[in-house]
Amino acid sequence: MREEKLFAKYKEDVFRTSYYMLQDYQEAEDLTQDVFIKAFAQEYWEIEHQRAWLLRITVNLCLNHLKRKRRIVLMDSFVKWAVQLVEPRKVEQQIEEMEQKSEIHDLLQLLPIKIRGVIILKYLHQLKNEEIARVLHIPVGTVKSRTNKGLHILRQYIELDTYRELVLCEEIEGGVRG
Amino acid sequence: MNDLERRVERLFQNDALELPDFDRMWKSINPTGALKRRTIVRGSLHFVIASLLIAIIFFGWNTEQGIQIRQKLASFIIESNNTLGESIDAQAEKIVNQHVTRLKMEVQALKLQLEREIKSLDQQLSMIQVVKDLPTKKDYILLLSNYLPEGAYIQSYVHINDYLWYNEGRVNQYTSLFAAKYSRSSSEKLVQKLDEINVKKFEVANYEVYYLTDDNFHYLVWNQAIDGQLATYAVGTSLENGFTVDEMKKVVEAYID
């Protein structure tokens, strides 16, 4: 079956892209299914670059999904804050939640969604600028500028994080000496 | 590629992301399995016809066995064709019916959602008016809502960026009045907890309104059921240079009315 082959070949690419874009495991699973349902409804066997085509569907669906979701994000933040105000979480619980998320997950969260898409296509899927431009239907110059902006944000964060670690190490050492 | 780019690439490669159960996912993507079954039926049919043709060649076209096999082949082809045709028709009808039912449900759900959003939008718009009419110390008002039209939301968002910064769900540098509405299962839980820890509350327009505060902000929170749907509403402002409790009460009162 052609559908099954297509699914088997690209399921991981589609899922990873969805996960890193949406930052939510359950939503990424649902969206992966949506991507393939949408792909099967079209004449996919005639598509020359199926991977790029599927990634385009994935990124577009992610953007649409986040656009819809954005409307309720602020409210979610307030709910979480309000609940926390009356029911503070335990420190262990907070640490456990932090440990479950990887460093790349945290870093991607810092990026605006359009820049995040470019960074994922470039460094996860290792697409060239021209390929990314074709996938996202944007000029190559925009790909380059989004990449630069993304790297700039990541660099700032990584440097700040390194600085924090240094300060923490110094404090610990100071504590041990003291 | 510079060091940072290599580091980002390495982080992607080394991320031990647990993959989902793709078999289960495939089953839900392909719920009817119709294509697979049709392929099997067609495959079996081709095999039987090929075997009978080989048998005819082996026994000869006009021999007694050959004639018998030819008759069997003819009847088999007619029967199989009918069965296969009926089977495919039945499956096609079933799939179409499933899609029609699903589409009807989706349309119904969308209709309901749209009605709810229009109703909510009306409420929000009247609330904006109420907030605007208040004697305010600020020259801007922020209204946060998940149901505002796209343009209004974006405008608010840009504005918020100047004065507000959301970090891990906590509001910082809050200087203006805001109003929020959210509908979640946590509505009941939140009020239950507020009761448990004996939070101060007022009665406004026959509703119990809770007064939350910390070092920088204070809020009025209340639960209200509209058309049988329970939702939690909140109005908040900064303690230092925002609205007073009485001013916020006016907002609540006007909104409940």
| pLDDT for position A133 | 92
| pLDDT for position A144 | 94
Residue of B4, B17, B40, B185 for testing the chain A interface, max A β-carbons within 10 Å: B17
Q: Are A31 and A58 in contact (CB under 8 A)?
A: yes
Give me the phi and psi of B174, to 5 degrees please: -85, 125
CA distance B190 to B208: 13
Task: Provide CB contacts within 8 A for B197, sequence distance 6+.
Answer: A86
| pLDDT for position B112 | 76
**Amino acid (1-letter code) at residue B144:** L
Length of chain B in residues, anyone?
Answer: 257
| pLDDT for position B181 | 43
Average pLDDT of the segment spanning A60-75: 71
Contacts within 8 Å (CB) and 24+ apart, B167-174: B169/A76, B169/A77, B169/A78, B169/A80, B169/A81, B169/A84, B170/A77, B170/A81, B171/A78, B171/A81, B171/B217, B171/B236, B174/B216, B174/B217, B174/B236, B174/B237, B174/B238, B174/B242
Task: Provide CB contacts within 8 A for B39, sequence distance 6+.
Answer: A1
Q: Are B202 and B167 in contact (CB under 8 A)?
A: no
Give the count of beta carbons closer than 10 Å to the beta carbon of residue B84: 14
Higher-confidence residue: B97 or A103?
Answer: A103
Q: Are A76 and B166 in contact (CB under 8 A)?
A: no
| pLDDT for position A174 | 64
| pLDDT for position A129 | 93
pLDDT digits (tens, 9 = 90+) for B217-257: 677 878 777 666 666 676 766 677 667 788 778 777 776 76
SS (HEC) of B95-150 = HHHHHHHHHHHHHHHHHHHHHHHHHHHHHHHHHHHHHHHCCCCCCCCCCCCCCCCH
Chain B residues in contact with A75 (beta carbon < 8 A)? 144-146, 180-182
Task: Provide CB contacts within 8 A for B235, sequence distance 6+.
Answer: B177, B178, B179, B180, B219, B220, B248, B251, B252, B255
> Parallel, antiparallel, or unpaired: how do β-strands B217-226 and B229-238 relate?
antiparallel
What is the rounded end-to-end Cα distance, in angstroms, of chain A?
A: 70
**In this complex, do A15 and B153 lie within 8 Å of one another by their Cβ atoms?**
no
CA distance A78 to B182: 9
| pLDDT for position B149 | 32
Tokens 């504590």 label which residue? A175
Token reading at B72:
């069997």
Nearest CA in chain A to B28: A33
Among A46-50, A145-149, B109-113, name the one with the lowest average pLDDT: B109-113
The answer on pLDDT for A81 being more than 70 is no
The answer on pLDDT for A63 being more than 70 is yes
pLDDT digits (tens, 9 = 90+) for A151-164: 998 888 877 766 66
The SS3 assignment for B9 reads helix
- Which of A1, A77, A119 has its CB closest to that of B169? A77
Count Cβ–Cβ pairs < 8 Å, chain A vs chain B.
Answer: 113
Q: Could you give the angle at which helices A2-22 and A50-86 cross, rounded to 10 degrees?
A: 40
CA distance B27 to chain A (A): 10
Give the count of beta carbons closer than 10 Å to the beta carbon of residue A50: 15
Is the complex ipTM higher than 0.85?
Answer: no
CA distance A121 to chain B (A): 11
**In this complex, do A37 and B29 lie within 8 Å of one another by their Cβ atoms?**
yes
- What is the helix (H) or strand (E) element at residue B42, kind and residue range? helix B34-59
Token reading at B156:
């608010």
What is the rounded end-to-end Cα distance, in angstroms, of chain B?
A: 62
Query: Within chain B, which residues score under 50 in pLDDT?
Result: 34-35, 37-38, 131-185
At A173, the pLDDT band (50, 70, 90 cuts) reads low
Token reading at A118:
């470019």
Give the count of beta carbons closer than 10 Å to the beta carbon of residue B199: 16
**In this complex, do B22 and A11 lie within 8 Å of one another by their Cβ atoms?**
yes
* B239, B240, B245, B249: CA torsion to nearest 10: -90
| pLDDT for position B67 | 76
Which of B207, B208, B183 minimizes the C-alpha distance to B198?
B208
pLDDT digits (tens, 9 = 90+) for B34-66: 445 445 555 666 667 777 777 777 777 777 777
Which of A32, A9, A10, A8 minimizes the C-alpha distance to A20?
A32
How big is the CA angle at B248 (ends B244 and B251), to the nearest 5 degrees? Answer: 150
Average pLDDT of the segment spanning A127-131: 92
CA distances from A175 to A161, A169, A178, B33 (A): 21, 10, 5, 65
Among A8-17, A95-104, A134-143, B246-255, name the one with the lowest average pLDDT: A95-104
> Parallel, antiparallel, or unpaired: how do β-strands B165-167 and B229-238 relate?
unpaired
